[in-house]
Amino acid sequence: MDPRNNPQKPLEAKGGSPDPETLKRVKELFLLFAHAISATKLFPAHHASVINFQEELYDKLTKFLEEHEELNIGIQENAFTYEGEIAYRDENILKSLPYLFFKDGMHKLTFLRDLDKAELLAFLDVVRTVSLLPPDQHDIVESLWEKDFPHSRYYVPDEFLESRLAIHQKKALDFKIDKAQMSQGKIELTAEDREVIHQKLTARLQKEQKEAADFASLTDSLDKGDSSLIESMLSYERDISTALDFLGLIFELLYTEDRLEPFKKALSFVEKRYQEWLKKGDFTYVAISIRQMEDLAQILSLNAPERALEVEKFLKTIIDQCPLEALLEMARQGQIKDFKSFFEFLRRLGSKTLSIGAELLEDGLDPEVRSAAFEFLEEMGKDHLDLLANLAQEQKPFITKAIIAIFSHLQDQKAIPFLAKFLSYKNKDIKIEVIEALGRFSDTVAHKILLEFMREDKDEDIRTAAAEKIHLSLDKDLMNAAVHLALAKNFHAKSLREKEALLKALERGGSDEACDFLRVLLKKSGFLKKAKIEESRLCAVRSLETIATPKAVEVLRGGAGRAKKKIKSACREALERLTTGKDAGKERPS
């Protein structure tokens, strides 16, 4: 037995059996321990029953330790003992707690006074983690050793390891030394070595005086010296992501491995890693591994086409076989940590992932995700306008509006027909967005569509919005069509808002045509109610005042001379403002 091998060796338990009261308390502690462990296996960490068991265990254990200084636990295959008495038993090896400790050779476990709660919880966590793994994949002694808990100790006899190491070794271990040999014979130094010794000895005698008392630097064990440098080196190294570092390494390994078979094996390891990352949603690494493999394929293609081909095959496979449904699900479940990389990855997968971007946008997760999804759709969509347009649906207003915004942002005239498609939608919000998007185009086609809205739509708001966005100056026909619209019989019957919007469109469209039209409007009479006509004419006067070109002034003068009283005075007032106002004498550019 080698106590030196086991720094955690507990003090020997005192002899004799425990008093029944103490044993009862210890039994209770074990039960709580077992409950605490099974609760953490069943429920999430913040679950009430987990917390309750932990609290109770902590309270009772601390109390026990305060009174007894320590709790020494003996470990048997199926039982925990306290001072020789069985205190807990579980025969079921598959889930038995004592067996969990026993199987890795632990004989004793001790908790010491001053154990704090964090340490107890960390201890329980180790037990939980270990018990969830298959038996051959864990070692509780190893896990506890790594944790190095200050208030718990364990004891494993050395024989445990000795009996397991090198069991297949046929040769018996033999390192016998003949002690007698040590004091037999003579060492004959060579002449050369003797000379060296002689020289050094004489040199030494001279400086011995000085050396004898030179202890000044004795305190240098306190000198931190390189330690701060070492600390910063360690913290730098610890910040490096192991996975990234490893990817970098595999890249180099693949680059240097010129034999095809090992190359393929290593490549399949990358694929395995890649799949693991993909499964876990670690898209940072997924994206980087793809980037790296693309880089590798490129440099290999120069002088190792065979290997380059393998890498390309690898890339194609992972891209072709990527489970899109699963990706979407993962995104919805919030399993993706790095959306930037996630979308980078989707870009590499190509246009088939557009729908994932759209779904994510529609799901409306956090704003950052949405803006990343928007960027993704915009970038991917610019070469696939049709696919993008297909993603829009009347029932999905969010994504539809986003697509409209993307089209508007792209300013690609090819997007216009797709926008036109939305004319048939009933959703007013969407239509308004389409109108705004079309209004931003400088292409005549877009504005012809707007004119259609002005003319045909049943909804006044839509017609008005279209009138507000249209640019009539783009095309003569457009202007004429708009004038016709305004001269149509039903014009006076429209609401003031719509009329104003139409007149404003004409104003923007070009002063001459507008003035001609307004002149007509001022003169023209109709069958409608007087009030409606008057309203139209007052609008016309306001428009003319806004236009303020010589031609507009001329039309206003005409109005001031001929029209009905109310219109006449409106014209006069407008003229007066135009000539005496701030901008008097200045004509507006047409």
| Residues of span 165-204 touching other proteins by CB under 8 A | 165-166, 168-169, 171, 173, 175-177, 179, 181-190, 193, 196-197, 200-201, 204
End-to-end CA distance of the chain: 105
Of residues 53, 156, 68, the one with CA closest to residue 112: 68
What is the closest distance, in whole angstroms, from the C-beta atom of residue 34 to other proteins in the complex?
A: 25
What whole-number distance in Å separates Cα of residue 130 and Cα of residue 101? 10
What is the closest distance, in whole angstroms, from the C-beta atom of residue 112 to other proteins in the complex?
A: 7
What whole-number distance in Å separates Cα of residue 489 and Cα of residue 536? 12
Q: Which amino acid is at 76?
A: Q
Q: Torsion over CA of 267, 270, 275 and 279, rounded to 10 degrees?
A: 180
What is the closest distance, in whole angstroms, from the C-beta atom of residue 321 to other proteins in the complex?
A: 20
Extract the tokens encoding 502. Answer: 């139409």
Q: In terms of C-beta distances under 8 Å and separation of at least 24 residues, what long-range contacts does 142-150 make, across chains too? A: 142/104, 144/8, 147/122, 147/123, 149/119, 149/122, 149/123, 150/119
Cβ neighbors of 76 (< 8 A, separation 6 or more) are: 98, 102
Which residue from 217, 303, 395, 490 is in contact with other proteins, where contact means CB under 8 A?
A: 217
112 binds other proteins (CB under 8 A): yes
Binders of other proteins among residues 10 to 29 (CB under 8 A) are 11-12
Q: Whose Cβ is closer to other proteins: residue 9's or residue 492's?
A: 9
Q: Whose Cβ is closer to other proteins: residue 267's or residue 478's?
A: 267
What is the closest distance, in whole angstroms, from the C-beta atom of residue 200 to other proteins in the complex?
A: 5
Q: Whose Cβ is closer to other proteins: residue 138's or residue 499's?
A: 138
Give alpha helix (H) positions in 257-338: 260-280, 283-303, 305-320, 324-332
Q: Whose Cβ is closer to other proteins: residue 136's or residue 320's?
A: 136
By CB under 8 A, the count of residues binding other proteins is 92
137 binds other proteins (CB under 8 A): yes
Pattern 267-286, binding to other proteins, x per CB under 8 A?
A: --x--x--------------
What whole-number distance in Å separates Cα of residue 171 and Cα of residue 381? 71
Q: Whose Cβ is closer to other proteins: residue 145's or residue 425's?
A: 145
Which residue from 42, 122, 132, 233 is in contact with other proteins, where contact means CB under 8 A?
A: 233
Extract the tokens encoding 551. Answer: 């031609």
248 binds other proteins (CB under 8 A): yes
Extract the tokens encoding 283. Answer: 């898209």
Which residue from 19, 91, 142, 368 is in contact with other proteins, where contact means CB under 8 A?
A: 142
What whole-number distance in Å separates Cα of residue 188 and Cα of residue 209? 31
Extract the tokens encoding 489. Answer: 């019989």
Q: Whose Cβ is closer to other proteins: residue 250's or residue 478's?
A: 250
* Cβ count within 10 A of residue 56: 15
Q: Whose Cβ is closer to other proteins: residue 266's or residue 520's?
A: 266
Binders of other proteins among residues 143 to 162 (CB under 8 A) are 145-148, 150, 158, 161-162
Which residue from 4, 14, 426, 565 is in contact with other proteins, where contact means CB under 8 A?
A: 4
What is the closest distance, in whole angstroms, from the C-beta atom of residue 231 to other proteins in the complex?
A: 7
What whole-number distance in Å separates Cα of residue 569 and Cα of residue 565? 6
